[in-house]
Amino acid sequence: MASFKNAPWSYWELESLLSGYPVAILGSGIVGLSTAIFLKRMQPDLPVLVLERGPLPTGASTRNAGFACFGSMTELLDDLSHQPADAVWSLVERRYRGLQRLRGLIGDTRMRYEPLGGYEVFPSSEEAIFQTCLEALPAFNRQMQPITGRTDTFQIADAHISRFGFQSVRHLIKNTGEGQIHTGETLAALLALARQMHIEILNGMDVHAIDPDASGVWLHFEQGSLHFEKVLIATNGMAQQLLPELEVEPARNQVLITQPIPNLPLQGSFHYDKGYIYFRNIDQRVLLGGARNSAFEEERTDLFGTTTAIQQTLLNLLKEVILPGVPVEVDRWWSGIMGVGESKSPIVRMLHPHLGVAVRMGGMGVAIGSLVGEEAAQMLLQN
């Protein structure tokens, strides 16, 4: 159970709000909440405390585009060029299974899941890249069949170009197994499910340092320190702040959303440039983000914010390719922080007998996050 030291908390706070929890999870995003939910499913009487440093889980879980995706062809071809094929397809399978876990946890209606497919966009300048994808398409569909149960997961979809109103786009490849969600409703549903299962979630709990010992882990806050039998770090891109040696780096993605656009023709989720740029229709608005590959070093940061160069890159794409000739006004900008690394596979392991991590979602937290949470719950109970 939790104990404390050097703490100015009141007797009442310690007695009723901060004590009696053998397990603490840092981070209330998809991974952290899923871990807590699966822990309670596996061991219903186990008290679980989720600690979140901000008022909201603001790393990536509430700041993503809401893509229920698991890999575009150019992204997977790039992965296959520097990773073993078995590792690449195994990760794709985990992402797909993770999407099913998330849908099972929340339900399609609550998360506003729409199986509209995902489209990869090829402008005229990428004819050679498209031809490479075209040659690989039959082999990719054979690899995908045991994962999705479809014989034609990837399809040529050039016939949809005019319907979507694109300019300078020559080809589309559709991933029929992908869809989209409403990110806000998904997190709201996870929070509601966690509270329904009597999982305590405390916000404003900013951990400054972590000290494992023989019997558990000390979490140090500005207000004092708390001790738990087991701790899981599920802060993804922010994990290096607590564990600098961890093989995960922050990666910022900048995002815009437009004002509503009457009769917006986009339907589905769209990927461009190996998945680094993405856009979709949400409530008759264009949500467009990414382009960090144009400034990798600058975007290797855990600081929120936007930059003029990436803003201009996204605005040019919006006005010249996505909505050519259509008057459009940006409503707002924001950014999110992902966790990436040399490998795209998540890190789910115990660093110490009492301290575990579940981080590095590689920009696919929506897809793989709930599955990682289930794996992390099993790991905590087995150690």
| More confidently predicted of 175 and 59 | 175
Q: Are residues 254 and 270 in the same domain?
A: yes
CATH number of the domain encompassing residue 238? 3.50.50.60
Q: Are residues 354 and 238 in the same domain?
A: yes
Rounded Cα distance between 301 and 313, Å, is 19
Q: What separation, in Å, do the N-terminal and C-terminal C-alpha atoms of the chain show?
A: 16
Rounded mean pLDDT, 32-57: 96
In a domain, 255, yes or no: yes
Q: How confident is the model at residue 11 (pLDDT cuts 50, 70, 90)?
A: confident
Give the number of other Cβ atoms within 10 Å of residue 119's Cβ.
28
Q: Are residues 372 and 299 in the same domain?
A: no
310: β partners: none
Res 6: pLDDT: 63
> What is the number of domains present in the chain?
2
CB 212 within 8 A of CB 233: no
pLDDT of residue 282 exceeding 60, the answer is yes
In a domain, 129, yes or no: no
Q: Are residues 258 and 326 in the same domain?
A: yes
What is the residue whose two structure tokens read 């991974």? 31
Q: Are residues 235 and 352 in the same domain?
A: yes
Cβ-based burial of 152 (10 A; exposed 0-12, middle 13-18, buried ≥19): middle
- What is the average pLDDT value for the chain, to the nearest integer? 94
pLDDT of residue 147 exceeding 70, the answer is yes
In a domain, 142, yes or no: no
In a domain, 154, yes or no: no
What is each CA distance from 266 to 67, 162, 246, 279, in whole angstroms?
A: 14, 11, 40, 9
Q: Are residues 223 and 273 in the same domain?
A: no
In a domain, 177, yes or no: no
Which string of DSSP letters, residue by residue, matches 86-149?
HHHHHHHHHHHHHHHHHHHHH-HHHHT-B---EEEEEEGGGHHHHHHHHHHHHHHHHHHHHHHS
Q: Are residues 307 and 335 in the same domain?
A: yes
What is the residue whose two structure tokens read 């023989």? 214
In a domain, 314, yes or no: yes
Give the number of other Cβ atoms within 10 Å of residue 257's Cβ.
18
Q: Are residues 233 and 352 in the same domain?
A: yes
Q: Are residues 244 and 347 in the same domain?
A: yes
Res 207: pLDDT: 95
Q: Are residues 189 and 335 in the same domain?
A: no
Q: Which residues lie closer than 8 Å to 227 by C-beta, 6 or more apart? A: 2, 3, 4, 5, 215, 216, 217, 218, 219
Rounded Cα distance between 29 and 369, Å, is 9
Per residue in 232-242, pLDDT tens? 999 999 999 99
Q: What is the pTM of this model?
A: 0.95
Q: Are residues 244 and 364 in the same domain?
A: yes
Q: Are residues 285 and 226 in the same domain?
A: no
Res 58: pLDDT: 76
What's the gap between Cα 3 and its chain centre?
33
What is the residue whose two structure tokens read 């575990």? 356
Per residue in 116-142, pLDDT tens? 999 999 998 999 999 999 999 999 999
Q: Which domain holds residue 317?
A: 250-339
What is each CA distance from 258 to 253, 280, 324, 354, in whole angstroms?
A: 17, 11, 14, 46
67: β partners: 180
Rounded Cα distance between 41 and 34, Å, is 10
Q: Strand 269-272 and strand 118-123: pairing?
A: parallel
Rounded Cα distance between 216 and 273, Å, is 45
355: β partners: 231, 352
123: β partners: 169
Rounded Cα distance between 10 and 206, Å, is 18
Half-sphere exposure of 262 (CA within 13 A, CB side): 1
Percent of the chain having pLDDT more than 70? 98
Give the number of other Cβ atoms within 10 Å of residue 207's Cβ.
21
CATH number of the domain encompassing residue 269? 3.30.9.10
Q: Which helix (H) or strand (E) holds 162?
A: helix 161-164
Q: Which tokens is 374 given?
A: 């289930």
In a domain, 108, yes or no: no
Per residue in 214-234, pLDDT tens? 999 999 998 889 999 999 999
Q: Which residues lie closer than 8 Å to 193 by C-beta, 6 or more apart? A: 33, 37, 105, 106
Per residue in 329-363, pLDDT tens? 999 999 999 999 999 999 999 999 999 999 999 99
Rounded Cα distance between 54 and 235, Å, is 12
In a domain, 159, yes or no: no
